Structure 1
């Protein structure tokens, strides 16, 4: 179980995340939504300890994450895999090697310096790529792949960490609807089949409702909504997005794949959510 208590992150006098308290049981798939600057990315980066909280507690089971240093911190960042919007692959390396990099925190410094991987590790990497439907790209340079393929490589790399939790920071923000669906289907399947907790920042309302059993809405660094996806009503969305929510429409917020004949016209906020 992940538990945050009164977590705050300040940048000078500005509180990017302000006094957040949430508990995430093992195996949940959680979507975090909100306007740009609401604190979503800062929240995930504190969970992975890419940045430190200014105050408050982050605990996973019995471990106080904010106190970890050295090898213990590296082990936590292995167990809490991070997937980024920009993929963070090494473009000149082939896909297989990029995926194998997910094993670095399991290996000695000497083995990492030599760059050698065992047959078992290579088999794991191929299996991860097959699971994500891109095994045929294993020997291609990562930089030659499409955005959707690169994001699936990043997910395969995260699986190589054998994580207890996956954090995805806007994983579909730069993808077209078809690739966005493939990536979200992959994350959802991992959550359902492996029981791995997934917390993902999302910029589309329909995606959060479709894939996430729980939605956390943030505004100005604070949690203003926390509940089941089916409770994400028009009123709840207005709390998250403020006055701008009145201008939201299906065309703006949707990543779903629809036939032209069934695609609704620009609708009201009720249709958007």
Structure 2
């Protein structure tokens, strides 16, 4: 199903954080959103998930008017549109298994959720999600004892438990080292390719956007100023997105690099197959 933003705007008083953004995204694309801090990237994702309300405009997913949802309909959308945050949003005192199974809350009755009762099938699904992310050995550890890279993989496993139709990731690798950043991005691309789930992720590194995303949207001042493929993200487009320094020079892309010894080949035309072997070999 096609996802569509029509003239979506978000105001905070006199400040316009997102300004008349119109974008169409077909089912199954992996989209990277880039731009400077304050460009409106996080606000855009939070409006898609309805964590923030648009001031005007329309958000649609197929025939569903997302921007008009309330009550149960809104809760169902937030189940179907899973969100992964930069700061993980886990419950540190709970074990990893329970954190992952919390992704099922909007699929279950209120009384079952209140009593923290999960079925054998849900527990098996949680273990399978952790195995897929290469961290099943952490299942009984408290989430707060894990490294940042492990916690982000737990957050992805929790999102998988929601059985989402769309996955949003807000700066998912901003606080991670290059190796864990690669593991997390490999996981997001694997979900996109295997399940055919639309993935929209905010990124602060151009090499990552080029390597993993078949489509890149650049924002500046709350507006979309670039929408194209990685090969179209040339120096002129980068300058339009990020501007220039005080001396008029363009940005040095190496300053935003997350490359490691074995970088992922960039996405060119269409999707490339990506296994999860790197997850198994890089378990921490």
Give TM class, smaller chain.
over 0.9
1:249 corresponds, among 244, 248, 252, to: 252
2:102 corresponds in structure 1 to 101
1:202 corresponds in structure 2 to 203
Q: Give the superposition deviation at 1:202.
A: 0.1
Measured against aligned partners, the alpha-carbon deviations of 1:196-245 in whole angstroms (never above 9, x if no partner) come to 00000000000000000000000000000001111100000000001139
1:221 corresponds in structure 2 to 222
Mean alpha-carbon deviation: is it higher for 239-248 or for 81-90?
Answer: 239-248
Pairing 1:232–2:226 present: no
Query: TM-score by structure 1 length?
Result: 0.93
Measured against aligned partners, the alpha-carbon deviations of 1:38-70 in whole angstroms (never above 9, x if no partner) come to 000000000000001000000000011111000
2:125 corresponds in structure 1 to 124
Q: How does 1:79-228 map to 2 (within 5 A)?
A: 79-228=80-229
**Number of matched pairs:** 259
Q: Is the 8 A contact 2:101 2:122 kept in 1?
A: yes
1:52 corresponds in structure 2 to 53
Query: TM-score by structure 2 length?
Result: 0.90
Q: Is the 8 A contact 2:239 2:250 kept in 1?
A: no
For the aligned residue pairs, the C-alpha RMSD in angstroms reads 1.0
Give distance in 2, aligned partners of 1:58 and 1:142: 34
Give distance in 2, aligned partners of 1:54 and 1:229: 31
Q: Secondary structure at the match of 1:246?
A: coil
Q: Is the 8 A contact 1:83 1:155 kept in 2?
A: yes
Q: Secondary structure at the match of 1:243?
A: coil
Is the alpha carbon distance of 1:60 and 1:257 closer, same or farther for their aligned partners in structure 2, counting shifts above 3 Å?
same
Q: Give the superposition deviation at 1:246.
A: 3.2
Q: Give the superposition deviation at 1:249.
A: 2.5
Pairing 1:78–2:85 present: no
Gaps of 5+ in 2: 263-284
Could you list the structure 1 runs, at least 4 aligned residues long, displaced by more than 6 angstroms after superposition. Answer: none
Q: Secondary structure at the match of 1:8?
A: strand
2:33 corresponds in structure 1 to 32
Gaps of 5+ in 1: 260-273
Q: Give the superposition deviation at 1:247.
A: 5.0
Q: Is the 8 A contact 2:29 2:197 kept in 1?
A: yes
Please state which structure has a larger fraction of its residues in helix.
1
Give distance in 1, aligned partners of 2:202 and 2:40: 10
Q: Give the superposition deviation at 1:256.
A: 1.2
Give distance in 2, aligned partners of 1:246 and 1:43: 29
Measured against aligned partners, the alpha-carbon deviations of 1:92-133 in whole angstroms (never above 9, x if no partner) come to 100000000000000010001110100000000000000000
